[in-house]
Structure 1
C-alpha cells in the first residue's frame, strides 16, 4: 500500500498533541497530593479550622484534575498501539513491563488510597485519613518514576539486546536506572511540585484580590511562595544537570537545543559561542543569522572557557534533529524557570518587610496579579520542556536504535485523518470540561458552612 506523504506528519503531530494534552494533568496530581498532605498534617498539628477548609477546597480541584489525567492517559496508551504499532511490538518486552510496573505498584495503589482520601472524611480516624493521603503522595510519585523511566530508556537505551527486531531486556537494573532517568526524574518531580505550588499560589492570590476569605488564602499564598524560593532554585540546578546528561549521552540533541551547527570556527579553534536567538537555513546545516555570546556555551556545557562542544556537523544529515522547535522551546522553558524564581523572591521580599499581613497584602495588587499570571507559566514550561525532549531525540524513537519512521503504523491518509480528528475531539472535550469545573470550584471557593469533620471516635 502506497502511503500519502502527509500520513507521517499527521501521525507525529497527532501523537505530539495527545501527549501534550495528557501531560498537563499528572504534574498537578503529583505535586498537589503532597500539598494536600501538608495541609492535612498542619490541621492535625494545629487544630486550626482554616487548614481543614483549605485542604478540602484544593482536594476538589485535585479530584477534577485526577479524573482528566486518567481519561487522557488511557487515550495516550491507546494511541501507542494505533499510531505506532511496530514500535509497540518491538519495544513491548521492555516498555510493557515498565508500564505494567507503573500500573501495579503505582496506579492501582494510588486509586485505592484516593478513594479513602476523598470518601474517608467522617468515616475513618483522622490519623488513618492522613495515612491514606500520604500513600496517595507515594503512589503518584512512583507513577512518575515509572513513566519517566520508560521515556528515559527511549532517550538512553541500556540493558537490552535486539533479537529479530525486538528489544529484549538483559539487565533490568540498567533498563530501569538508565543514565537519563537519574536526572530526568528529579527534574520532572520538581516540575510537578513547582507547578502545584504556583497553582495554589495563583488560586490563593486570585481569592485575595477578590477579598474572598483573604486571611485564609493569604496564609496559603505565603507558604507556597516561601516553598517556591527553594523549589524553583533547586529546579534550575537540576535542569542544568540534566543538560549535562544530554550533552554526554545525546550530543546531537544538545546541538539542536543550542542551535550549535559547527564544532569549530573556520580558523580551527573551538566554537564556544552560545546563541541567544538564531534561525537555521533550509537543510539545518547552518544558521542564516544568530545573536551569540562568546564562550558561554562552553561554560554551560563543559564548565571551561574554550573546550569544544560537539556541533551538528559531526552527524550525518539524516541523523540530525530538527532545530527550531527544540532551540526555542528550550529557551522558553528556561526563561520561565528564571522568571518563576524571581516571582518567588518577590514574595520572599514582601514577607520579610511585613507586607503579608492581609490588610497590606491586598494593597499589593500588581504582585497578586503577577502571581495569578504565573500560575499558567509552569504548564507552558512543562509543555516546552517536553517538546524539547521529544523533538530533539528525532529522528530516533529509541535513541540510536530505532527510527520514528520505522515505528509508525502503515496507515492510509483518510484513516490517519479520522484518528487525528477523534483523538483531538476527545482531548479538547476533556480539557474544556476540566477547565470548566476547576474554574467553577475556584469561583465558589471553600465550603465554610459545613461543620468540621469528626473521626470515628468523635474527636474534632
Structure 2
C-alpha cells in the first residue's frame, strides 16, 4: 500500500464522514424554517415543541459537520499538494467564496437561532432560521461548483503546468454543475425527509409522542411525494449529462464492456459480477434494450463501451457498478414507499398501517446510504483522474512517505470513531427522548433571563450540570 492508495483511502474515509452531516443539515435547516413558519401561522404549541426538538438535532449535526470539514480541508495541503499547487488558483477561490458567503452567514445567524428565542422579535428569529437555511444552500452551491469543475473542467487555461482562470462564469457554471447541484440538494432533502418520517414512524409504533409523530409523518409523506419523483427526473437529466461528458464513467456504472451489433441496443444489467481481468461480466442477469431506453431514450441507442479505451483509462468497475445499483435500488424503494403511503393516506389508514410505519422505520437511514453510494459513483467513476482528462490522481499526490499517511489514517480512524461515535450516540439518545413541551429559560436573581441550553436533553437540568 503506497502513499497514493493510502491517501485515497484517507480522503475517502474523511469525506464519507463529512458529507453525511452537511447533507443532513441542509435539509434539516429548511425543515426548521418550515416548522417555525407553521408555528407563527397557527400558534399551535406542538409546532413550537417540534422546532426546539429538531433544533437540538441540527446543532449537534452542524457542529460535527464543521469539525469534519476542517479536517478534510487540511488534506489538500498534506496529501494532495500537487493538486493544490496546480489547481489552487481555481479551487482556492471557489472554496473561499463558500466561507465568505455561506459560513459567515450561518455563523452570524446560528447564535440568534439557537439562543434568541424570546430575546429577539419573532420575525427576527424566523429570519435567522431562514438565513441559516439559506447559508446551507449557498455552501452547497460553492462546494458542488468546485467538485463539478473537477468533473467537467471549463473556463481555464494552463500556464506552465498551472491551471489559471480564463472565465469565472464558465468555471462556476461548468457543464455538469446545474445537474449535480439539483441532484445533491434533492438528495439532502430526501435524506432529512426519511429521517423525520422514520423517527415519526418509530414514535407511532412505540405509542409515544403520538401527535408529534402523526404531524411529522404527514409532512414527511408530502415532502417525499414531491422530492423523490423530482429526484428521478433530475437523475435522468444528470445521467444524460454524464454520458455526454464522462462516457467511460457511465460504461463503468453499467459494466458495459463492448457494443453489440448495430441496432442491438444496450441491455439493463440487473445483476452481474464484473470481471475486470477478463473484461466481461460473470453471472449476468440483464433485460435486453432496456439500458438503451434509460441511457439514450431510444431502444437501439448505444453508449461508449469500456473496451474503447485502454485499461489504464478506466475507473475501477466493481465499486462503481455496485454503488450505482445500491443508490438506484434505494431510490426505487423510497418511491414505492411514498406511493404506498399516499394510498394508505387516501384510505385513512396512514397512521394505523403497521406495514407503512415499518417501511418508514426501515428506510430511516436509507438516504445516507444512497447519498454515500452516489458519491462513490461520482468520485471513483472519475478515476484515474482527479481533474477529469487533465490531471491524473497519481500525479496529484504529495511526495510523502506511505508510513506517514498510514499513521495519520490510523489516528483519524481512532479519533473519528471516538468523537463522532459519541456525537452520534448523543443524537440517538436525543431522538429517543423525543419532543417535549418547551419551557422558557430560567431567570437569575435579578429577574433577568439566563441563556437557554439548546442542546440539553429533556430530563436534564441546569443545576445538575452546574
* Cα displacement (A) at 1:279: 2.0
Does the 8 Å CA contact 1:284/1:322 hold for their aligned counterparts? no
Which residue of 1 is the match for residue 110 of structure 2?
Answer: 114
Structure 2 equivalent of residue 425 of structure 1 = 414
Corresponding residue for residue 164 of structure 1: 160
Q: Which residue of 2 aligns with 1:194?
A: 190
Q: Pick one of 110, 121, 124 that aligns with 1:125.
A: 121
Contact kept, 8 Å, 1:113 with 1:132, in 2: the verdict is: yes
| Deviation for aligned residue 1:443 | 2.1
Pair 1:12 & 2:8 matched: yes
Shift of 1:306: 0.7
Q: Structure 1 length as normaliser, TM-score? A: 0.93
State the match for 1:400 in structure 2: 389
> Is structure 2 residue 137 aligned with structure 1 residue 141?
yes
> Shift of residue 123 of structure 1?
0.5
CA distance in 1, matches of 2:438, 2:405: 52
Q: Which residue of 2 aligns with 1:444?
A: 433
Query: Which SS does the other structure have where 1:27 is aligned?
Result: helix
Hey, what does 2:359 align to over in structure 1? 370
Q: CA deviation at 1:138?
A: 0.9
Q: Secondary structure of 2:252's partner? A: helix
| SS of match in other structure, 2:302 | coil
Q: TM-score, normalised by structure 2?
A: 0.92
Residue 240 (structure 2) pairs with residue 240 (structure 1): no
CA offset digits 1:62-86 (Å, max 9, x no partner): 0010000001000110122211111
Distance 1:434 1:170, change over 3 A: same
Hey, what does 2:149 align to over in structure 1? 153
The corresponding residue for 1:78 is 74
- Measured after TM superposition, the shift of residue 447 of structure 1 is 2.7
For each residue in 1:264-297, what CA deviation from the matched residue of structure 2 results, as whole angstroms up to 9, or x when unmatched? 22x5655522222222224363223422211112
SS at structure 2 position matched to 1:141: helix
| Alignment match, 2:377 | 388
- 1:224-239 → structure 2 map (5 Å cutoff): 224-239=220-235
Contact 1:52 1:452 (8 Å CA) reproduced: no
1:370 Cα deviation (Å)?
A: 1.9
**1:340 & 1:452 partners in 2: Cα distance?**
40
- After TM superposition, the structure 1 stretch with the greater mean CA deviation from structure 2, 108-117 or 41-50, is 108-117
Partners of 2:48 and 2:438 within 8 A in 1: no
How many residues are aligned here?
Answer: 443
Is the deviation greater in 298-307 or in 427-436?
427-436
Unaligned runs of 5+ in 1: none
1:449 shift after superposition: 5.6
The alignment status of 1:35 with 2:24, answered yes or no, reads no
Alignment correspondent of 2:341: 347
Deviations 1:82-123 (A, max 9, x none): 111111111110010000000000011111111111111110
Instruction: Give the direction of change, closer, same or farther, for the CA distance of 1:449–1:118 in structure 2 (3 Å limit).
Output: closer
Give CA-to-partner distance per residue, 1:17-76, whole Å, 9 cap, x none: 111111110011100101100000000001111000001101100001000000100011
8 Å CA contact 2:263–2:301 kept in 1: the answer is: no
